[in-house]
Amino acid sequence: MRFLTAGESHGPQLTLIVEGLPSNLELLSEDINGELRRRQGGYGRGRRMKIEKDQAQIVSGVRHGYTTGAPVAIVIENKDWKNWESIMGPDPVDSEVKKQVTRPRPGHADLNGAIKYGHRDMRDVLERSSARETTVRVAAGAIAKKLLKSFGIDVGGRVAELGGVRDSYTFDGDLEQLKTVTEASPVRCMTSETGDAMMAVIDEAKANGDSVGGIVEAVVTGVPTGLGSHVHYDRKLDARMAMAVTSINAFKGVEFGIGFSAAEKPGSQVHDEITYEDAGFSRSTNNLGGFEGGMTTGMPVIVRGVMKPIPTLYKPLQSIDIDSKEPFKASIERTDNCAVPAASVVCENVVAWEIANAFLEKFGGDRLGEITVNYENYCQWMADF
């Protein structure tokens, strides 16, 4: 499978094309809209999310509730477009209509993109680099989640740390509980007192015109052994996952299982001992987060990503105007002062996409039924191994 996205933050719509989905997968707009709603929420969001009510319109590849095997195209309207038509329209306009952005925000794509693509108005950069694009990546992930669900694979996520406040929870195998608790938490945190402390940090940052980042965790259960491969660098699924997670806007790093803390421990306390019971091979712990040798082990996949604080600040940092070359405070764009809870939903969905893609590589077919036969054969193979 592959997908392409198009669309600017204040353009008319976002567009997604997913190619390579099998036929006969049940897919309803609501499967996607449910995920879109989750992404829009979270404590710390700004005024934009009061304007948008993201709804997926499926415009091809699905008929009477089932995929046909043709590319699935989805559009999501930007309701804010009506306020930006003259600034963002495709047709030529008088130069005075253009509100030129000439003051790059430190930490954003503004300056590098302007130099690289030759824009004197950095709106031509920031509109596409905006995290608004994660809307359609979540739509792609929602389709992946639906596919995975047919094979008993489930995905959830949580906020593990926000603005320096760390939640002490570690995943205990109960994904249903994780989903229930995080869905009820405004910051998607598993421990309510920690969630309160996270909200206090967001309030404080907002009062100071500042922003805060954090760490999110995605968890996938029901993953069969052997997705990905050890035989070539670009077939290692953890490596592909790292690319997917660090490509989420503002993400700066990724870890699996105990992650970077493995550096502090001896090997005997890091590697997960192999066990064998009626259900087959397993591991006594899951320090490696469900991956060994670029392949899934059959243990839950645990992926964490770190999001830097959003670089658009109401208390802007020092910058240089690209026209006058004079120092100026960077331009202020309306923004969220914390999008970590939303980013947790995005992380879940990009992880779901990578798992689904690896699943189709291993068990692929043109029809869902064909994939099911391939998967069941493999389950039998594993049981006999």
Binding site residues, ligand EPS, CB under 6 A = 9, 46, 48-49, 80, 130-132, 134-135, 312, 333-336
Q: How far is the CB of 22 from ligand EPS (least distance, A)?
A: 29
Nearest to 260 by CA among 317, 304, 221: 304
Closer of 130 and 194 to ligand EPS (Cβ): 130
Closer of 220 and 346 to ligand EPS (Cβ): 346
Q: How far is the CB of 323 from ligand EPS (least distance, A)?
A: 22
Q: Please, which residues bridge with residue 327 across strands? A: 320
**Whole-angstrom distance, CA of residue 309 vs CA of residue 214:** 8
Q: How far is the CB of 368 from ligand EPS (least distance, A)?
A: 31
Q: How far is the CB of 131 from ligand EPS (least distance, A)?
A: 4
Closer of 14 and 148 to ligand EPS (Cβ): 14
Q: How far is the CB of 334 from ligand EPS (least distance, A)?
A: 4
Closer of 109 and 241 to ligand EPS (Cβ): 109
Residue with tokens 């798992």: 355
Closer of 49 and 73 to ligand EPS (Cβ): 49
Sign of CA pseudo-dihedral 89, 314, 38, 128 = positive
Q: How far is the CB of 326 from ligand EPS (least distance, A)?
A: 24
- How far is the CA of 245 from the CAs of 186, 252, 306, in angstroms? 22, 9, 9
Q: What is the CB-side half-sphere exposure of residue 47 using CA atoms within 13 A?
A: 3
What's the order of all strands across the beta sheet hosting 13-19? 2-6, 13-19, 72-77, 56-60
Contacts of 148 (CB under 8 A, 6+ apart): 154, 155, 220, 222, 352, 355, 356, 359
Closer of 49 and 382 to ligand EPS (Cβ): 49
| Structure tokens given for 304 | 């964490």
- How far is the CA of 26 from the CAs of 2, 21, 72, 141, 344, in angstroms? 19, 11, 12, 15, 26
Closer of 336 and 354 to ligand EPS (Cβ): 336
| Structure tokens given for 74 | 């989805």
Q: How far is the CB of 51 from ligand EPS (least distance, A)?
A: 8
